[in-house]
Amino acid sequence: MSPVLSKPVPGSLPQKLLARYLLLLRLYPVLTKAVSSALLSALGSVVSQIIEKTQKKGGLDLRGPLRFAIYGFLFTGPLSHYFYLYLEHQIPSDVPFAIVKKLLLDRLVVAPAFLLLFYFVMNFLEGRDTSALVKRLKTSYWTALKMNWKVWTPVQFINLTYVPMQFQVLFGNLVALFWFAYLASVKK
């Protein structure tokens, strides 16, 4: 471990965790966001299973959280990092109607594609064939996309307007914890 990372941080546990997170974010931004996304995505899957468990008997299936962790690590964290950089580069915050332009791009182009990527990756990680993907898309994609627009439009407005750029992926991941719980239950 590098000397910078092993140096003790003064303060309470939350202060120490925040200081460590900020350091990691500065040193390894994509990796830090990928790991955060993996952990929160997996937790969303666990939450979904806990909610479903109250409705029916059965133990925790660790394959679901593992699939969500893989998706969060490989896709959500890194793609979101680069997407927010791209947005700020292409549509700087100081141009007229920047937030409207960013939201339109995010909601009408990125959200449908990202949701489609989610379905594709999960189908692959579950070892299912193309016909299963097509069936799942036909039965739940449109419903999930409409819910995405309802849930994520105000979230993205807050995120893009008020959250500092270095924390936009984390903010999105915290909300995504509940979103992934929803997707885990919808995709079933």
Q: Is the dihedral of CA 23, 27, 33, 38 positive or negative?
A: negative
Q: Which of 57-61, 81-85, 137-141 has the lowest mean pLDDT?
A: 57-61
Report the distance separating Cα 178 and Cα 188, nearest Å. Answer: 16
Packed helices 29-55 and 13-27: angle between N→C axes, nearest 10 degrees: 130
Q: What is the pTM of this model?
A: 0.84
Res 136: pLDDT:
93
Helix (H, G, I), strand (E, B) or coil at 128: coil
Q: How far is CA 6 from CA 1, 33, 58, in A?
A: 7, 20, 42
For the chain, the domains span 3-186
Share of the chain above pLDDT 90, in %: 67
Location of structure tokens 């202060």: 15
- For 114-171, what is each residue's pLDDT tens digit? 999 999 999 999 999 999 999 999 999 999 999 999 999 999 999 999 999 989 998 9
